[in-house]
A = this chain, B = another copy of it.
Amino acid sequence: MTEFDLIKKPWERLLELVEAGDSTQLLDFLNSINPMDTALAISRLRMEEQGRLFSMLNPVDAAEVIEDISDTQAADLIEELSPEQAAAILGELDSDHVADLLGELDDEDAQAIIDEMDPEEAEEARQFLEYPADTAGGLMISEYLDYLADQKIHDVHVDLQANRQEYVDYHVQYLYVTDQEGRLCGVLRMHDLLFLNHASLLQQVMISTPLKVTVDATLEDLRNFFEEHDLFGVPVVDADNRLVGVVLPEAVEEARRKRSVHQFLGFSGIVGGEEFRSMPLLQRSGRRLSWLSLNIVLNIIAASVIALYQDTLSAVIALAVFLPMVSDMSGCSGNQAVAVSMRELSLGLVRPNELARVLAKEAGIGLLNGLVLGLMLGAAAWFWKGNPFLGLVVGGALALNTFVAVSFGGLIPLALKRMKLDPALVSSPLLTTVTDMCGFFFVLSFASLMLERL
């Protein structure tokens, strides 16, 4: 690498190396930069360049790169490869990571790749894909240590030493003990091996009432479990108590973080919960439009309220200045309530059926903030036109609409959750439609009532 290369940005160098087609230099370069720079540099390549990059690496090295980048980025990339290439790379990854990636692909693409995997891995992948992502089944790993109840501590020591190379990457801090049918019957901490007699049988020294979860345990159940038990992992069993995997607390934290990221992006109208600027323009544009198109229809419905009051509006044209303000401000107040409800829902501090409680808690704020904001805007209107009645109309409408927006905003996420809809994606358009319609209606109908004084 010349000095000139060093001052280049990593992605410029990466692009050069991909274009030059020299695998050895490419690999040296990737090994020399840190994972965040790898992710950054790859995100700067066009999809076909990314495909080219991966066909230059052998599966082991490609898998290492995959581990550095986000699942969405990786899934996009895998779609560019042939199923054979993809299967070879996935063969080098952890079982739960494989499932995560396959889960991001279309069913058809995923199936084509699974067909190319070796039969045992394919079977495992198929099994993992059956579990919903945010359950113990979807979050567990299959890399753990299990022994039979009638094995000796000595056998374990021998196995550990013999397979040290393989086990060294295992994240699991426990030995699980099963019977001949694979049913979980005990657990031992790795450390306990330091203190135990080599001649003992596992069943004599194991903790024989192991804590466990079932494959269908939800993210909330798992979070609860790890809040209650400060452990390095929990064994996952199927309906017949057979040990099928282990969930690590990091996996639970990561799933919770991802959920909150998806919530944030969904709330801002990013359908599907993820978008990178390395995605093709048409794909990004189309996904954003799908949400915006719904919005424009809702907006037309809301604005039609204004059309009903064109006479009032022609009589007092100043009202047109306040219409967007009242609807915007109420939207903001309502969104605050939406956000608090979504947060409390995901923390389990409120249940979807507690509409009355949330209403009681939000109505007070809606009233108070409505009064304050109504006074501010009413005063501004009065001051501007020198007409106290204009202030009354505008301020009164904002006060009332804030009350509606905050109360309704607090309730929407709960109601959507009960209807099994995603509050992140739907709350905001729904709220805006209601607050716009009500806001326009309050301003214009109040104005109609005291038209001769305006």
Residue ranges of A at the interface with B (Cβ–Cβ < 8 Å): 34-36, 39-40, 43, 67-68, 70, 157, 160-161, 169, 171, 173, 190-191, 193-195, 220, 223-224, 227-228, 230, 232, 249-250, 253-254, 256-257, 260-261, 263-265, 267-270, 274-277, 281-282, 284-285, 288-289, 291-293, 295-296, 299-300, 302-304, 306-307, 310, 313-314, 317-318, 320-325, 327-329, 332-333, 335-336, 338-340, 342-344, 347-350, 358, 361, 364-365, 368-369, 372-373, 376-377, 380, 384, 432, 436, 440
Contact = CB atoms under 8 A, between A and B. Distances in A.
Given A276-B344, A310-B318, 14 more contacts: A36-B224, A36-B227, A40-B349, A68-B227, A161-B195, A171-B230, A257-B260, A265-B340, A268-B339, A289-B369, A296-B325, A303-B325, A314-B317, A320-B323
A333 to B, nearest CB: 6
B269 A336 contact: yes
Contacts of A276: 340, 344, 349
A314 B285 CA distance: 37
A446 B293 CA distance: 24
Given A270-B339, A340-B275, A160 B253 contact: no
Contacts of A295: 328-329, 332
A86 B49 CA distance: 59
Contacts of A173: 173
A256 B259 CA distance: 12
Contact of A249 (B250, B268, B282): B250
Chain A facing B: main interface SS? helix
Contacts of A318: 307, 310
15 contacts: A36-B224, A36-B227, A194-B194, A260-B261, A274-B343, A276-B344, A277-B349, A277-B350, A289-B372, A299-B329, A310-B320, A314-B317, A323-B324, A324-B436, A328-B432
Given A228-B34, A306-B320, A348-B39, A368 B281 contact: yes
A70 B347 contact: yes
Contacts of A299: 324-325, 328-329
A370 B365 CA distance: 37
Contacts of A432: 328
B277 A358 contact: yes
B264 A339 contact: yes
Contacts of A253: 250, 253-254, 257
Given A376-B296, A377-B296, A343 B307 contact: no
Nearest to A169: B230
Contact of A313 (B254, B282, B320, B376): B320
Contacts of A369: 285, 288-289, 292
A269 B339 contact: yes
B324 A327 contact: yes
A438 B291 CA distance: 22
Contacts of A256: 257
A343 B281 contact: no
A423 to B, nearest CB: 12
A156 B264 CA distance: 48
A169 B189 CA distance: 12
Nearest to A167: B191
A318 B311 CA distance: 10
Contacts of A333: 288, 292
A243 B240 CA distance: 48
B322 A303 contact: yes
A348 B277 contact: no
A8 to B, nearest CB: 15
In the A-B complex, the 7 residue pairs with the closest CB atoms:
A268-B339, A257-B257, A35-B227, A253-B253, A264-B264, A320-B320, A324-B324
A160 B194 contact: yes
A224 B321 contact: no
A368 B313 contact: no
Nearest to A427: B268
Contacts of A169: 230
Contact of A263 (B68, B264, B281, B321): B264
